[in-house]
Structure 1
């Protein structure tokens, strides 16, 4: 059985000002690392896919059309672009649409094969009519709504383990009982206002690996049993790591592997497809994020080969 990966070179093809906080090069570096370590295209259990941009019409079914029109035409007020955190460019828009298309494709691959992993995604701070925190449109919510159009998918669970609360996802999907939002995050971190998800696990600053895994493992099986999702969308953010510059947790690299393995193995044992995105992770030296994000792929390969 193959592990299906989704990637596009455009993910790192965005010019940003010097010293910008967003680690734009990590996607290319992760792809190159996996190619060097595992041999993409040669590995017997890996298959690579390249996504197409999501349609603007589909985006407008989730986000306010006026916001999308202003965003895509570069007429959004400067203050609202500052809230997003990126300078506007045509490449930014193309990258955003392609990444959202990638998360949508990952859902399709998970639906067909059991597990799909997107080497981008997790833009959970995008709200109905504004963007925030490096997020223009909410690929998780878009992908969850798409999943509900697939035969036999009547309930979706978004498990968001990025260290920052999934506020945009929570507000966008608050009135949709078919999509369960589950956020595991730092209680004293961005955003300041944290609207209620269906399930919130807020952990204090300086949470250790053992504390994190104990808390998460005590809730995740119950959440899956209670809601019985037909598919899971998993945001495997690595900004929970002890050296993350925006994280405030003390979780080690093995803790990230164990967290990812827990999600993937529980879902596989329950025959729940998982569409995973790599999510957040912030280091000035982008290369330092590569091995952290790679834990998701390593854990998925171990689950698929029953290790």
Structure 2
């Protein structure tokens, strides 16, 4: 059955005019249960991450800053959030959610974090709505415990996974693959194992062809035994920040392409939510829900 890490919506209101759609974290699990894609027993609420799993990914100094709420105003602005005790605690739970999902994926083939995908967090700082890098921490957990030896991170959010790329730039056992808007945030890109920058307005057909070509090419030479899939839906044509022209059905075909490939190879996958900023929340929820629907049809 599905195992999905669930995180209650952030309890403190964000500043007026804030663009981050927090309500999707509440609406998506409700939609999945309403339509029967997931059952209530599929969801679990993570505890706080054990700090030992952050070692080697985030600096001790940065972690202490977060715990003590001592980020400078400049550091806080980079995150995009007003950093509070509740938000920091939520981030520690998100990271633990992705770590626990690795255990469920090893058992079931796939698992989901209904938040996660905080790929803009670096070793010593947060950026772009990300404080801690959940995929990096979970990958480090797998390597340190010997549960995986070769990890592929497939990041198909419209924004480059710059924090993830920087963290693993010198790690031969982790291959970071990012397909993103070339002219989108972040302005300064980091160096992934493979970066594919897309032009604004790319069509559904060209997008899917690009993803499939590079994924196949990578798997010719790199043979992972575990995959993290950053399945952001900010690639769709209605997204306010994405600037691509991919349809919602095209986004679903992307998920089918990625998940079916690793299902056929019997490689466990952890999916993390990533971005989605369409004006209509129903477009965001529908696109995210498609990823779960695809996984259910393939795995369960």
What TM-score comes out, normalization by structure 2 length? 0.95
2:36 matched to 1:41?
A: no
Q: 1:99 to 1:152 in 2, by over 3 A?
A: closer
2:148 matched to 1:149?
A: no
Shift of 1:3: 2.6
Aligned to 1:257, which of 252, 259, 262? 252
Query: 2:222: which partner in 1?
Result: 227
Shift of 1:72: 2.1
Aligned length: 300
Aligned to 1:247, which of 242, 246, 253? 242
Task: Check whether the contact 2:234–2:278 (CA below 8 A) recurs between aligned residues.
Answer: no
2:292 matched to 1:297?
A: yes
**Following the alignment from structure 2 to structure 1, what is the Cα–Cα distance between the partners of residues 50 and 222?**
30
Query: 2:101: which partner in 1?
Result: 106
Task: Check whether the contact 1:278–1:296 (CA below 8 A) recurs between aligned residues.
Answer: no
Q: 1:197 to 1:225 in 2, by over 3 A?
A: same
Query: 1:24: which partner in 2?
Result: 22
Q: Deviations over 1:75-99 (max 9, x none)?
A: 1110110011100211101110011
2:56 matched to 1:61?
A: yes
Residue 153 of structure 2 aligns to a residue in which SS?
strand
Deviates more, 1:52-61 or 1:290-299: 52-61
**Root-mean-square deviation (CA), in Å?**
1.6
Task: Check whether the contact 1:153–1:231 (CA below 8 A) recurs between aligned residues.
Answer: yes
Counterparts in 2 of 1:1-307, with a 5 A limit? 2-9=1-8, 11-38=9-36, 40-41=38-39, 47-151=42-146, 153-305=148-300
**Following the alignment from structure 2 to structure 1, what is the Cα–Cα distance between the partners of residues 220 and 107?**
22
What TM-score comes out, normalization by structure 1 length? 0.93
Segments of 4+ in structure 1 off by > 6 A?
none
Task: Check whether the contact 2:37–2:296 (CA below 8 A) recurs between aligned residues.
Answer: no
Shift of 1:148: 1.6
**Following the alignment from structure 1 to structure 2, what is the Cα–Cα distance between the partners of residues 208 and 218?**
15
